[in-house]
Structure 1
Amino acid sequence: MKYLVMIQGNQAAHEAMTGKPSPGYPAWNEQDMQAMFSHMGALNDDLAESGELVDGNGLAEPAETRHVLAGKDGKPVITDGPYGETKEVLAGYWVLDCASLERVTEIAARAAACPVPEGTLCSPIVIRPIMEAPEA
């Protein structure tokens, strides 16, 4: 079964990674970034080797977000993000093909163990099964 594993984040977390701290998000240094890249790289390598990795990427900062909605007049309403009321946004994801929910949960737990600077607020990792189209 395929699963979407989503790492949540926010603008403050992204800014901390670029050296701009805020409450709950201390500034990352080069060693912190290398530790994160090493951890996630090893996880990605293991998933590719096991054949479970379908796709995965980190996403650009929330400030580069664009929202498109259908307007009442049929024209799109386009707004830039982030929004003050939005606490968590998608920061990165994997599409995994795993034998069970238990297996994908093990993988998400490994991702959640990624090293971060001390004092950093934890961001959740969300697992969603991907629906398969019914056979014709």
Structure 2
Amino acid sequence: MKYLVMVQGTQADYEAMRGKASPGSPAWSEQEVQAMYAYMSAINDDLSETGEMIDGQGLAEPAHTRTVTLGDDGKAVITDGPYSETKELMAGYWLLECESLERVTEIADRITRCPQPEGAPNYPVVIRPVMEGAGDI
């Protein structure tokens, strides 16, 4: 079964990783950022080795977000982000092929243990099965 595993973050979190603290997001040191990248790289390497990894990417910060909606007049309404009302957005993902929900849950548990500075927010890791056909609904 395929699963999308998502990690979340905010614009403040990306800024904290560049050393700019804000309420609820302490500044990260260069060593803390490198430790996080090394941890995530080790997960990626392990998942590639087991053949479970289909794809995985970190996403650009929310400041580079663009939202396209349909306006009342039928024309596209294009808005660039981030927005003060926006909560967490997807910060990265893995598309995995795993034997079971239990296995992908083990992987998500490992992801939650990624090193970060004391006081940094802890976001859930979200697992979503990927529908592969109309019968999956």
Query: Which residue matches 2:50?
Result: 50
Query: Which residue matches 1:10?
Result: 10
Deviation at 1:134, TM superposition (A): 3.8
Instruction: Specify the SS of the correspondent of 1:85.
Output: coil
Verify: 1:120 aligned to 2:120, yes or no: yes
Query: Which residue matches 1:96?
Result: 96
Give the Cα–Cα distance (whole angstroms) in 2 for the partners of residues 81 and 124 of structure 1: 23
Query: Which residue matches 1:108?
Result: 108
Across the aligned residues of Structure 1 and Structure 2, the Cα RMSD in angstroms comes to 1.0
Give the Cα–Cα distance (whole angstroms) in 2 for the partners of residues 16 and 124 of structure 1: 19
Taking the TM superposition and a 5 Å limit, the aligned residue runs for 1:3-82 are 3-82=3-82
Deviation at 1:2, TM superposition (A): 0.3
Unmatched 5+ stretches in structure 2: none
Deviation at 1:81, TM superposition (A): 1.2
1:14-36 residue CA offsets vs partner (Å, 9 max, x unmatched): 11001100112111111101100
Give the Cα–Cα distance (whole angstroms) in 2 for the partners of residues 60 and 72 of structure 1: 30
TM-score, normalisation: structure 1 = 0.96
Deviation at 1:123, TM superposition (A): 1.4
1:51-75 residue CA offsets vs partner (Å, 9 max, x unmatched): 0000000000001100000122221
Deviation at 1:83, TM superposition (A): 1.6
Count of residues in Structure 1 that have an aligned counterpart in Structure 2: 135
TM-score, normalisation: structure 2 = 0.95
